[in-house]
Structure 1
Amino acid sequence: MSDRTLDLDDFSDLIERPHGGLRRDAEERRARTGLPDQALGRLDELGEWLTAAQAKVPVEPLRQPKLVVFAGDHGVAELDVSTRPAGSTHALVRSALDGLSPAAILARRLEVPLRVVDMALDCDPAELPADVTRHRVRRSSGRLDTQDTLTAEEAEQAFRAGMAVADEEADAGTDVVVLGDLSVGGTTAAGTLIAALCGTDASVVTGRGGGDIDDLTWMRKCAAVRDGLRRARPVMGDQLKLLAAVAGADLTAMTGFLLQSAVRRTPVLLDGVVSAACALVAQRVAFRAPDWWVAGHTGKEPAQAKALDRMALEPLLDQQVAVGGGTGALLALPLVQAAAQLAAELPVSEESEEVDGAGDAATEEGETANASALDAT
C-alpha cells in the first residue's frame, strides 16, 4: 500500500479475524484442565482471544509487550478547553521520557518498554530525541472548530506514519501493544469524532478531560465539539477526510496504527477516550479490526463508553483513571499476561496432550495447503 495512493478500502480485504477454529480448540483444551467452567472468569476469554490472535494452541506467554504513545498538540486548546495551556504537551512527553509520569512509572514497574511518537507537538523538535520526533507531521494541529486540523497531504502522511510504527513493532517481535496518547485538546477531538460516528449531541460526549475542568471550561469544550461536529458531518463518508477535518495528526496516526496492527496480527490494548475514538474510526474502515483489540479500562469520559459500546468492547477494569499516556491500559496488562500464562501452562491430561499434538499437525497441514494455494494463484 505504501507505493501507491492510500486507499482505506484495502484494509477490509487485508484484515482477517483471529483464527476462530483455534479459539474453539483453546476452549476444548481449557475444558480438559479439570478446572470448573468459568472458574477463571474473563481470563479464559482473554486466553482464547490470544490463542486465536497468535494462531497457536496452546498460546505462548506474552514476552515482548510495548507501550506506544502518540503525542501531539491541538489548536482547539487555544479556546481554553483544558486545565493545561495550549501547546504544552511537550512537558507531558518530557515527563514520560524522564520516567516521571504515571504511565512511565507503571511501565517501569511492569518492565514494559516505552515508545513515544511525536506527531504534532508545538515545540522545537531539537528539544526531544530524534527517535521521538522523526514522524512529526507538523507543529500542532489546526483548530477543529473553524478549520481542518490537517491538510489532505498531512492526513495521509500521519496515517502512513501510524502504519509504519505498527510495522516496526510487528517486525521487532512486539507481541502485544499498550496504546496510549499524550495531548492537550485531544479529548475534544476524540469527543467530536465519537459524537459524529455515534450520531449524538456534543453535550452527551463532552467530559471533563484529564484535569477535571470546571463548568465554564466544560461549556467552552462542549461548544468546540458542537462546532467541530458541523464540520465533521459532511465528510463522514470518507474516513481520511474526517480525520483531516477534526482529528489532528496524533489521532490520525493512531487510527493508521490500529488498522495496520490488525493487518500484522498484533493484539492491542486500548487506553482511554482518545484510543477509543481512533478505534471507532478504524472500525468504520474495516469492520473486523476490533477483533484485534481489548479495552483496558473505562475512564471518566462519557464518549469512551459510547465508543466501546458501539464496538461491543467490554473494559477489563473500571478505576476511573483519567491521566492518559496509557496508564489505565497498563493497569490491565497484567490481566492479559496472566491469561496468556495460564492458558499456556495449565496442565492437561496425557490424552488431551495427544489431541493437542494432532491439532497442531492439522494446523501446520492447513497452513501448508494455504501457502500452496496462494502460490498457485
Structure 2
Amino acid sequence: MIKELQHKIDLKTKPLGSLGLLESVALQIGTVQNSLTPCLKNPSIVVFAGDHGIAVEGVSAYPQEVTFQMVMNFLNKGAAINVFSNQHQIDIKIVDAGVKFNFEAHKDLIDAKIGNGTKNFLFEKAMSTCEMEKCFKLADDIVTQLNSTGCNIIGFGEMGIGNTSAAALIMSSICNLPLEICTGKGTVVSDERLAKKIETLKKCQLFHGSISDATEILQTYGGFEIAQICGAMLAAYKKNMLIMVDGFISTAAYLVASKMIPEIKSHAIFCHLSDEAGHKHLLNYLEAEPLINLKMRLGEGTGCAIAYPLIESAVKFLNEMASFESAGVSTKNIQ
C-alpha cells in the first residue's frame, strides 16, 4: 500500500515533493487506513484536566483553583480551544481526570475523577499503581465511546496548574536530559521563579532517585490528566485511530506511550512546536517533525485544533487533486 500511495502522490499535478509535509501526512494517513482514498471522520479533541500536589511548592505563578475555573470556562465555551474547535467543526469533550473541585453534571463533561489531584511528588509518588491503572481503564472507555460514534481522528488537550513541572520531570527521566533543558516557564513569568521551579524539581528527582521504567516514571511524576492522555493515546492506536499530538504536556504523555508501544508513532501526527522550552528537545528526541510553529504555548489542545485543517488538506489533495494523466498535463521531460 505504501508504494501505491506514494505513486498516487507523485503523479499529482505538481513537482515531486512540492507539497512538503502535507505529502508525508497524506502518506501516513493512507497507510494507517490502508486506503488510497482515506477519510477523516468525526474529528474530536478531548481535554483532560487534573490538579497536581506539587503546585503547593510555588512552581506556577497561578493558584491551583485556576484549574477548575478554566474547566468551567471550557464548559461555558469561552476558552481558546472552544473557539478553534468550533471554527473547524471539531467535537470537544472535557474530562475531569482529577480536579480539586466537585463539578455538577454537564453534557460536555466526562467524570473520570481519580481523586482531588495527585500527591506532592516532592515527598511521595504522585499516584499509586492502582490509581494509574484506573487512569488507563477510564481513558480506554472514553476513546472506545468516541470511536463508536465513527471518530477516527482524535486530539488530546490538558489543563492542570503544575503540569509543566510533571512533564519536565517525565521528559528528563526518560530522555536522560538535565532539568534545565526540560523545564520552561509554563505559567511562571519571571526568571527568578523559573530558577526556583528548577531547584524544586531537582529536589524531587533527588528524592526519588534514578527510575528507568517509563510507567513508574509516569506514576511518580505524572498528573491524572497526563496518565489518562497516555492511556487514551494507547487506546486510540489499538483502534487504528489517528492521534493528534498537541504541545509539551501531551507530548510528554505520548513519550510514555511510545515507550510502552513504540509502534504508536505510525499513528501520531505532531501538530505544532510549542514555545515551551523543553518541547523542541523532546520532539528532537522523538525524531518528530511538527506541522506548524506559531510560538503558541497555551495547551488545551489548541495546537491540534489549529493544525487540523492542514491534516484535512493532506487528505483532500490526495483524494481530489488531478493527476498529470487525468488533467492532460505533460510530465517533466526525462533527462
| Class of the TM-score when normalised by the shorter of the 2 chains | over 0.9
| Superposed CA offset, 1:310-360 (max 9, x none) | 111111111111111011221111100111111111234779xxxxxxxxx
Q: Where does residue 3 of structure 1 map in the other structure?
A: none
Pick aligned residue for 1:253 from 212, 228, 232: 228
Structure 1: distance between partners of 2:65 and 2:173: 26
User: In the aligned structure 2, how far is the partner of 1:178 from the partner of 1:236?
Assistant: 28
1:118-157 alignment, distance < 5 Å: 118-126=96-104, 129=106, 132-157=109-134
CA-to-aligned-CA distance 1:258-292 (integer Å, 9 cap, x gap):
11111111111111111110111111111111221
Deviation at 1:23, TM superposition (A): 2.4
What is the aligned partner in structure 1 of residue 316 from structure 2? 341
1:38 partner letter: G
Mean CA deviation greater in 330-339 or 215-224 = 215-224
Query: Shift of the alpha carbon at 1:231?
Result: 4.9
Which has a greater percent of helix? 1
CA distance in 2, matches of 1:164, 1:34: 43
Q: 1:130 to 1:34 in 2, by over 3 A?
A: closer
Structure 2 contact 49–159 (Cα < 8 Å) conserved? yes
In 1, Cα distance between the equivalents of 2:295 and 2:262?
Answer: 28
The alpha-carbon deviation at position 232 of structure 1 amounts to 5.3
Q: Does residue 273 of the first structure (1) align with residue 252 of the second (2)?
A: no
Match of 1:357 in 2: none
**What's the counterpart of residue 331 of structure 2?**
none
Q: Which amino acid aligns with 2:52?
A: H
Q: CA deviation at 1:166?
A: 2.0
Q: Percent of counterpart pairs with the same letter?
A: 21
Does the 8 A contact of 1:156 with 1:240 survive in 2? no
The aligned counterpart of 1:36 is 15
What is the alpha-carbon root mean square deviation over aligned residues? Answer: 1.9
SS at match of 2:109: helix
- Give the drift of 1:87: 3.6
Confirm whether residue 303 of structure 1 aligns to residue 267 of structure 2. Answer: no
TM-superposition CA deviations, 1:193-251 (whole Å, max 9, x none): 00001111211111011x352122212221232133235554422x3322221102111
- Residue 179 of structure 1: how far off its partner (Å): 1.4
Query: How far, CA to CA, are the matches of 2:164 and 2:317 in structure 1?
Result: 36
Shift of 1:256: 0.8
Q: Counterparts of 2:314 and 2:107 in 1: how far apart (Å)? A: 36
Cα gap change, 1:205 to 1:346, in 2 (>3 Å): same
Task: Give the residue type in structure 2 aligned to 1:152.
Answer: T
Alpha carbons of structure 1 residues 147 and 260: separation in structure 2 relative to 1, 3 Å: same
Partner of 1:214: 190
Amino acid at match of 2:165: T
Query: Is the partner of 1:40 in helix, strand or coil?
Result: coil
Match of 1:160 in 2: 137
Evaluate the alpha carbon distance shift between residue 150 and residue 96 of structure 1 in structure 2; reply closer, same or farther with a 3 A threshold: same
Distance 2:308 2:188 in 1: 26
Distance apart, 1:182 and its partner CA: 0.9
Structure 1 equivalent of residue 53 of structure 2:
75
Q: Which amino acid aligns with 2:258?
A: Q
Unaligned runs of 5+ in 2: 327-335
Amino acid at match of 2:85: A
Where 2:160 maps in the other structure, the secondary structure is: strand
Give yes or no for contact 1:88–1:122 (8 Å, CA) kept in 2. Answer: no
Choose from 86, 94, 99 the match for 1:108: 86
AA aligned to 1:302 is A
- Look up the equivalent residue of 1:141 and give its one-letter code: T
Whether the 8 Å CA contact 2:10–2:17 is kept in 1: the answer is no
Q: 1:90 aligns with which of 68, 71, 77?
A: 68
DSSP-derived class of the 1:81 partner? coil
Q: 2:24 aligns with which of 23, 34, 45?
A: 45
- Post-superposition shift, 1:131? 6.0
Deviation of 1:65 (Å): 0.6
Distance 1:54 1:160 in 2: 25
Per-residue Cα deviation, 1:86-120 (whole angstroms, up to 9, x for no partner): 24301111111111111111111111111111111
Q: Matched residues in 2 for 1:207 and 1:294: separation?
A: 23
2:332 aligned partner? none
**Is 2:215–2:256's contact at 8 Å kept on the other side of the alignment?**
no
Which residue in 2 is equivalent to 1:236? 212
Equivalent pairs counted in the alignment come to 327
TM-score by length of 1: 0.82
Give the corresponding residue for 1:226. 202
Q: Are 1:198 and 2:181 counterparts?
A: no
Q: Does the 8 A contact of 2:59 with 2:188 survive in 1?
A: no
